[in-house]
Structure 1
Amino acid sequence: MLVFSLVSVILYLVLRVVHVYWVRPRSLEKQLRKQGIRGRSYKLFHDDMKEMSTSSREAWSKPMSLNHQIAPRVLPYFHQMIQKHGKVSLGWMETRPRLIVTDPELIKDILVNKNGHFVLQPVNPLVKLLQLGVSTLEGEQWAKRKRIIKPAFHIEKLKCMEASFVTSYSGMIDRWKKLIGVEASREVDVAPEFQKMATDVIARTAFGSSFEEEKLFELQRKQAALSREAYYGFYFPGLRSVGHFY
């Protein structure tokens, strides 16, 4: 009897693994193909992450041309998928199909949809712990958080912030002028400059002072870095409790 039970459990686990890692993804892919959606085929234990990392390294290793076509630089993998497969392309995140949508009408339908058909994809529990913004919430939690922050983005409130915006922008331009000095031209890395400007704007509008909350923003940057590590890492349920057994 014990042997039969053990065999049954092993058989169930094997069938479960086969269903999760092969049958279900292939079935979902087949349904999406029937709807005319093109993209990458599902491969066992091989999702988009490696290609995303490779394409990003290749794009960032080359000088960026001076134009407004930033997609090949910022999101090279998605840009390649769209160029190859169309405005709605199929990719994979582990065993989950992922649609890359660039059709404006479809994007609008997704963003304004209130029927519950479009839900957030499951994420690593560590990411949920570290990243508790509106973008990660759903249902009543999302609605409650939105009600709290909505007044801050009212047009009249934003108009009152105009002076703070101008002060921060002027400060950034003055810094650039000092960097250039008497030279006719000079290369400036604008990424940290814009980050500094955004920090200054938030500090002025939310706290009424410039950079007095710098430590808070530094902690948020560290938190964002931890969230990225958790997003791309592996999560083992119950691992944090292992230490309690010793």
Structure 2
Amino acid sequence: MDASMGSVLVLGALLVVLVSTLLIRVLFLLVWKPFTVTRWFRGQGVGGRGYRFFVCSMPEIRRMMAAGSEVILDAGSHDFIPIVQPQFRKWIADYGKTFLYWYGAAPSVCVADVDLVKQVLAERTGLFPKNYLNANLETLLGKGLVLVNGDDWKRHRKVVHPAFNLEKLKAMSVVMADLAERMMQKWQSHIQQAGSHQAEIELSSEFSELTSDVIAHTAFGSSYKQGKKVFSAAPALRGVLRRLLVGGLFHAPCNV
């Protein structure tokens, strides 16, 4: 009896230690570290959205995205930022061209200063690596040129560089122009079939198909029709990627 009671006490003590350790870890990641990062950036003169426990700026972003979806873009206007990313337009106005914002407990710095952007892009010392990639996304996407750093990036770049020399790009531009012309001819056919000087065309799907067709022809030597099943799966893939994004916890899937 005494032995069993002792075992229960030991297990209970271990459980308390485990729960306490996890709780301290969570508080460190979701409370202490974000506020420390915010204070450090403010000390450097970089302001921005204050950290909110776990939810960060997502409620505000959702509200602005919902409002932006109701905005109708004037014909001839290219000012689409208020529709697709209204939060950045507002935050730049509020905090300046360089500011800190949060997705969960993950800090990000937005840089809208052109000179500073050029400096970052031209930097070759490795001080500005790619963003940390969710482990689930890394498994899904692999380690390609746009996701790796350092020696891996140099090796990948050396392999793909010949495909993007000037002569290859010129040849690709001919293919792109031909595909765009085919799309215009299809539009003209729709107008003629309508029996008038106008027809309703869904530009979003048309340009999505054109983009897929360009990629298929230039990268794989096929066409959109031949790879239609693959391209039609892209929206489902984007849905999976959204579910893998995590606010503060990089290794557990959740909905954003």
The equivalent residue for 2:97 is 87
1:57-206 matched pairs, under 5 angstroms? 57-66=66-75, 67-132=77-142, 133-181=144-192, 182-206=195-219
Tell whether the 8 Å contact from 2:104 to 2:246 is kept in structure 1 after alignment.
Answer: no
Residue 227 (structure 1) aligned with residue 241 (structure 2)? yes
Instruction: Calculate the TM-score normalised by the size of structure 1.
Output: 0.83
Q: Give ranges in structure 1 of 5+ residues lacking alignment.
A: 239-246
Give CA-to-partner distance per residue, 1:47-100, whole Å, 9 cap, x none: 123322321121112322231211111211112111221111211121122111
* Percent identity between the two aligned chains: 28
Distance 2:229 2:13 in 1: 61
Aligned partners of 1:91 and 1:100 also within 8 Å = yes
**CA distance in structure 2 between the aligned counterparts of 1:9 and 1:190, rounded to whole angstroms:** 56
The 3-state SS of whatever aligns with 1:115 is coil
TM-score under structure 2 normalisation?
A: 0.80
Q: How far 1:176 moved relative to its partner?
A: 1.9
Asked which structure has the greater CA Rg, the reply is 2
Alignment partners' CA distance in 1, 2:62 and 2:232: 26
| 8 A contact 2:244–2:252 mirrored in 1 | no
1:242 match: none
The aligned runs of 1:35-54 (5 Å cut-off) are: 35-54=44-63
Change (3 A) 1:131 1:34: same
Structure 2 unaligned blocks of 5 or more: 1-8
**1:49–1:134 CA distance, 2 compared to 1 (3 A):** farther
Aligned position for 2:23: 14
- Aligned pairs, how many? 238
Alpha carbons of 1:121 and 1:199: their partners in 2 closer, same or farther (altered >3 Å)?
A: closer
Distance 1:14 1:225 in 2: 31
Query: Residues 123 and 231 of structure 1 are in contact (CA less than 8 Å); yes or no, is this contact kept in structure 2?
Result: no
Q: Is the 8 A contact 1:131 1:227 kept in 2?
A: no
For the structure 1 residues 186 and 155, does the alpha-carbon distance in structure 2 shift closer, same or farther, using more than 3 Å as the test? same
Sort the Cα spacing of 1:208 and 1:236 in 2 relative to 1 into closer, same or farther, 3 A.
Answer: closer
Q: Which letter maps to 2:232?
A: E
